[in-house]
A and B are shown apart, each in its own frame.
Chain A
């Protein structure tokens, strides 16, 4: 089965740039989506289809996908960005949705 690998944690100082990765075999050939989940809340999609930003998501959030790694970048990190971030793809071989294990973003 298809596996997505995310680092468990990323820490960044306010105002700096946070980079979170999502590794998967040939992930560039799949469409990656990213979700933000704050404590006690349901997830919210922050990046869809590799790099599209849904309405209401700040321009500080950006996504890319190349080779075996999809990347979520948050520039000018704010305290309110502290959350868990999950990547997701559709595996066409098994017709399964797959989530990465999630990365906890800590704002120092």
Chain B
């Protein structure tokens, strides 16, 4: 069974930082591109970032570029999202998802249940 479990969500003040983790099991993590998608309360899905299977290529939405950093540890089957300079508009449920062998070629087959990030003073 494929499992993705996000952690690290919290309440943080504007300008603060947070690191999300996504622990995975049930598939060959190192063979899959991975992505982060967020959903603000009552809103639709918004792609945040993707990373290639080997970690050598990363992609970011314009709204987070320069503030967020995606990374992965294939030895630990874990995906990360380092979020800096957080803003109120970053408040959302953050999902991790796996998506094929190469970024952009396949849909997001499996999703976690999400980690809630709230940016507020």
Task: Decide if B26 is an interface residue (CB 8 Å cutoff).
Answer: no
A48: which of B35, B46, B106, B113 is its contact (CB, 8 Å)?
A: B106
Among A18-26, A64-72, A95-103, the stretch in contact with B: A95-103
Chain A residues contacting B14 (CB-CB under 8 Å) are none
Give chain B's interface secondary structure class.
loop
Within 8 A of B (CB), among A72-108: 84, 86, 88, 90, 92, 95-102
- Contact assessment for A96 and B59 in the assembled complex, using a CB-CB cutoff below 8 Å: yes
**How many residue pairs bridge A and B at CB < 8 Å?**
54
- Contact assessment for A102 and B45 in the assembled complex, using a CB-CB cutoff below 8 Å: yes
- Contact assessment for A99 and B114 in the assembled complex, using a CB-CB cutoff below 8 Å: no
B113: which of A33, A42, A90 is its contact (CB, 8 Å)?
A: A42
25 contacts between A and B (CB under 8 A): A1-B62, A35-B107, A42-B111, A42-B114, A43-B45, A43-B95, A44-B111, A45-B108, A45-B109, A48-B106, A48-B107, A49-B107, A54-B109, A86-B45, A95-B103, A95-B104, A96-B47, A96-B59, A96-B61, A97-B50, A98-B47, A99-B46, A100-B44, A102-B44, A102-B45
| Interface of B toward A, CB cutoff 8 Å | 35, 37, 44-47, 50, 59, 61-62, 95, 103-109, 111-114
